[in-house]
Amino acid sequence: MSGLRMRGLVVAVVAGVGATLTVAVAPAEAAGTPHIRAGQTVPVYSYENAVRESVWVHTTLDNDLDGVPDRVAVDIVRPREAADRRIKVPVILEASPYYSCCGRGNESELKQYDANGTITKQPLYYDNYFVPRGYAFVAADLAGTNRSTGCMDVGGREEVLSAKAVVDWLNGRGRATYADGTPAVATRWTNGRTGMIGKSWDGSVANGVAATGVEGLETIVPISAISSWYDYQRYNGVLRSEDYPEYLHRVVNGRPAGVCDPVVKQLDEGSDDATGNYNAYWAARDYRPNAHRVKASVFIAHGINDTNVTTTQFAQWWNRLNVPKKLWLPQQGHVDPFDIRRGEWVETLHKWFDRWLQGLRNGIEREPQVTIETAPGTWVDERTWPAAAARKTKVALGDGNGTTGTLGGRSGSGFRTWTDNPDLSEAAAVGTPGAAVPGRVAFLSGPLTQGVRISGTPAVSLRVQVDRPTTELTARLVDYGTATRVNYQARGEGITTLTTESCWGASTAADDACYRDTAENVVTSDHAIVTRGWQDAAHRVSLRFVTPLHPGRWYDVTVPLQATDQRIAAGHVLGLIVQASDNEYSTPQSTGATIRLDLRHSSLTLPLVGKLPTPGATAPAVTTAPSANRSAPQRFQPLLP
């Protein structure tokens, strides 16, 4: 959106956002801090007159090997009146590789500078909304991107420590300079209390910095973020896409040609496409083992149907955190909650930052911890996640009619044999569960007598014989039954961008606070994927090494599915679809195997609220029709905003 169209707009705030909260008066308010009234921050400072400056934070890193410590370019917008009154303000920090290559938000905004190189436009609304309320907004270019030096190492040490260096500088532990080389001292205007926010790659950086335990980082808000880069680029040994780290580096790289070639070579060799093993390269990009070091509070938002940054990323991170935390789970895919439930999101984010950065005792930590969208436009608040009532339930696989098996009841005898069909699409695999489809096997529950909820991480345990040293195994849980659902597989991943706008903060001629409104994209369909999962059979023992299979021997292979939280309505049927390789969500490395499945020693484990019915000997009839409103998923899904 052009700032010229908004030249006449100085301040525009959506009615109702930041409504007065009934809370105790904070000490800062008692001391006369202008931007704190009735227990919350309010917009009293001029956004148009804000201090806008750019500095370069010095690091101890040098992965571009030029003999000069790498520097991180940081663009700052902060309230001038607060500085004039010597009021030190907290910081909202977004560290991103996207500021010059790809843009931020639904409208792909880029940073813009004046002729002197001073920031004039920051992407998104964070500065527009929060700077008038007594915050500074800091946008840092990750190493090797935009105006920073060094080389982007895609989730690695350089990336995380370059962002951490900014937090250190904000807390007086680092050095920065202006473009002319004069010192830039952050402690003159900030109290060092920093919150990091960002979607996708940006939120992943926030996770990584929090895992260092850095002092001064008080909260993070990771949106659709990664907690393990191995799990992003591998599915339990299954390769997502060839040369993926190198591709991501090229997309965001801001350095001259050739400067970062040694780093690209390290990405290629370290990621080890040939084996799919979890190794030292991936361990350096796995933030979960250091979750115990996180001191910051954490507010996570993640789409339940995100097939880009899949849900294991938030679930495994969430379950390891032992800090104040909050969780939003909408039904969309890779979408910012600002574009799903805008007013509620901004209000909640405002309250969250007021609590953890301004120190206002507004009670948000005592509110329900989790907010979940259960159906289009229907939201519920809950005490925790997964659901407290969810029980780990083992569901037997039955022989059924010999073609379509059953879910539930006693373990069934018999076998299923199929040969991998790499060309089998997801739509074909799940579309006709009652028919024989080459390349997959299907199991159905009876029609549900009452609704059930799956809340947590399901898994499928398979006892198999394979005629090759390995095969990939893919499992899908399917809700068969007509309902109106969020259309996350369409363009927009569950939202439609409208022609109207709403404004969220103050504006200048160069940087307006107005964004096109959005609406949920919904579709009435007769089935929906609840969750998916993948496993390379040769990595069944460990992700760190390959253990080949021997033809004729039986092996137990567990296929973990992605975490989910979905309600299955009464009258619907729950289905399990198992196939081998999946050419839509991964790049198969082993295809063509014939697999024999022992039903008696195989099962589905569900984190279940409620109970599945006991099926009959014959699976219920289920018919499905493809939806014209859905598009087929793309195999290659780059980590872009």
pLDDT tens digits along 274-293: 999 999 999 999 999 999 99
| pLDDT tens-digit readout, 477-490 | 999 999 999 999 99
Query: Measured between alpha carbons, how far is 333 from 505 in angstroms, rounded to an integer?
Result: 27
More confident residue, 327 or 589: 327
Active site residues: 200, 306, 334
Query: Measured between alpha carbons, how far is 513 from 505 in angstroms, rounded to an integer?
Result: 6
Helix 261-271 vs helix 244-252: crossing angle, to nearest 10: 150
How is residue 19 written in tokens?
């409504």
234 Cβ contact partners less than 8 Å away, ≥ 6 residues apart: 240, 276, 278, 282, 543
How is residue 174 written in tokens?
């680092």
Beta-sheet pairing, 325-329 with 297-301: parallel
Res. 21 pLDDT band, cuts 50 70 90: very low
pLDDT higher than threshold 80 for residue 340: yes
Q: Which of 270, 335, 268, 343 is closest to 307 using CA atoms?
A: 335
All domains of the chain in start order, with CATH = 18-382 (3.40.50.1820), 391-609 (2.60.120.260)
Query: Measured between alpha carbons, how far is 432 from 430 in angstroms, rounded to an integer?
Result: 6
pLDDT higher than threshold 50 for residue 20: no
How is residue 521 written in tokens?
């994209």
297 HSE (CA, 13 A, CB side) = 21
Q: What share of the chain is helix, strand, coil (3-state, %, to 5)?
A: 20, 35, 50
CA dihedral 623→626→627→630, nearest 10 degrees, is 130
pLDDT higher than threshold 80 for residue 14: no
Other Cβ atoms less than 10 A from the Cβ of 621: the count is 11
DSSP summary character for residue 257: T
User: Maximum distance among all alpha carbons in the chain?
Assistant: 80
Helix 157-170 vs helix 201-210: crossing angle, to nearest 10: 70
CA distances for 127 relative to 9, 263, 512, angstroms: 16, 33, 10
Mean pLDDT on 41-60: 97
For the ranges 9-18, 221-230, 249-258, the lowest mean pLDDT is seen at 9-18
Q: Note the pLDDT of residue 22.
A: 31
Mean pLDDT on 221-234: 98
Query: Measured between alpha carbons, how far is 256 from 240 in angstroms, rounded to an integer?
Result: 29
CA angle 378, 380, 381 (to 5 degrees): 155
pLDDT higher than threshold 90 for residue 16: no
| pLDDT tens-digit readout, 61-105 | 999 999 999 999 999 999 999 999 999 999 999 999 999 999 999
Res. 616 pLDDT band, cuts 50 70 90: confident
Whether omega for the bond prior to residue 386 falls within 30 degrees of 0, making it cis, is yes
296, burial (CB in 10 Å: exposed 0-12, middle 13-18, buried 19+)? buried
Taking the chain, what is the end-to-end CA distance rounded to the nearest angstrom? 17
Q: Note the pLDDT of residue 633.
A: 44
Percent of the chain surpassing pLDDT 90:
89
pLDDT higher than threshold 50 for residue 627: no
pLDDT higher than threshold 60 for residue 7: no
Q: With residue 167 as reference, give the H or E element that holds it.
A: helix 157-170
Query: Measured between alpha carbons, how far is 97 from 152 in angstroms, rounded to an integer?
Result: 8
DSSP summary character for residue 152: -
Mean pLDDT on 395-421: 92
How is residue 290 written in tokens?
């250091």
Query: Measured between alpha carbons, how far is 359 from 353 in angstroms, rounded to an integer?
Result: 9
pLDDT higher than threshold 70 for residue 617: no
Average pLDDT, the chain: 92
Query: Measured between alpha carbons, how far is 312 from 302 in angstroms, rounded to an integer?
Result: 10
| pLDDT tens-digit readout, 94-142 | 999 999 999 999 999 999 999 999 999 999 999 999 999 999 999 999 9
Query: Measured between alpha carbons, how far is 140 from 126 in angstroms, rounded to an integer?
Result: 14
Instruction: Give φ, ψ of 105 to 5 degrees.
Output: 85, 180
Instruction: Give φ, ψ of 600 to 5 degrees.
Output: -60, -35
Res. 599 pLDDT band, cuts 50 70 90: very high
| Helix ranges restricted to H, 289-432 | 312-320, 342-356, 426-431
